[in-house]
Structure 1
Amino acid sequence: MTGSLRVALILGSTRTGRFGPLVADWFAARCDRRPDLRVDRIDLATAALPEQLPDLDEPTPEPVRELGSRLAKADAFVVVTPEYNRSFPAPVKNAVDWFDVEWAAKPVSVVTYCRDAEGGHGAAQLRQVFGELNAVPIRRTVTITKAWQRFTIDGTWPRRDPELHESVEATLDQLVWWAAALRTARAAAPFVP
């Protein structure tokens, strides 16, 4: 593989007092330890995506064009999202729906965090959604249950968690493999939906 892979790390929580930035900081730091990855952090709370999609003949809003350019440059995606009501939050779906070809033939993984639930429902649903957009949802995800008990206020871990560490490394290994393979494939021939 030549050159590092660009991972768009998408922070899906937009709630006031949100916990997501701590999780995204932690996961980005794990990515930064790897020389094969470069992280482009995208915060949906500041992306200013409109909530209403336009008609097909209407112009694309500037925030959508700006984010679309960043997504198009990505080799892979990681969505960091809370799980609400056994699913992912509306801003994540809104962001996904604004784009199409930007997701195609690129791997996607999910980092979910939750207070008490198991945390896997939102990731499973996102796999289905991204599959419809010709993205490649990888099998590995990271689920952080009882996240509020695991992080300190400054975003550090209060204790070692070998199981979570192993989950992150396995997820990143799989994401890198798929990102490199699909980048090679996209360079050889344009993706045809």
Structure 2
Amino acid sequence: MLIFKNNIYDRQEMGLTRHSPTPDIEYDELFNPLHLLEVVLDEENDVLEFLERQPQEYWREDANKFYPEAQKIGSRSIFRNLQRILKDGLDDQLTWYNMNTYHFCFLYDILIRYAFNYNHDSAKERLNSLPEIKGKSLQIESFLKDYFFNTVFLMDEDKYNTLTREEKLEVGYDCPCQFAVINALAPTKEEMELQSSRSYPYSIYV
């Protein structure tokens, strides 16, 4: 199970009404963040299979198009590994896993791309993809606000590198590997892996 800012597995927290409500109350009640991630990661498998069939010389152009943020830190094999690792972690019902900035940056790109394509699909195609929201537009900005701890990986490297450690912590920039991602360093094998959590990651209200 993947650890986000809010719990995607708890049915009581699946609606956005408790976090960042959209103008559409029905959408907030219907939206299922877990199913969105399942669909996005499954579809990304098809995207990667397509990219893997393309000549290697087109990879840089493809990467800029499909992974505008993550392209600076990845190759096809890295993105394939990240997709597999995240899908396995999402489906594992026995262990909670912490993600790092490599994972969030990759997820950001594929979520933004999926939302763009979904919102330009026909009503029939929308219903086939995410039937629970009844063909309504996908409010991806609300999802990112509610479930991503931050989007520090979008920051310009010069601006990030001028911040002191205290300034980074003050605005919540404390996710592992953020320096490496912002400065375009490819992940090691260990950095691509998820880190298991020894405790329940969310507050328990009585």
In the superposition, the TM-score normalised over structure 2's length comes to 0.24
Q: Which is richer in strand? A: 1
Structure with the greater relative contact order (CA < 8 A, sep ≥ 6): 1 or 2?
2
Q: Which structure has the bigger radius of gyration?
A: 2
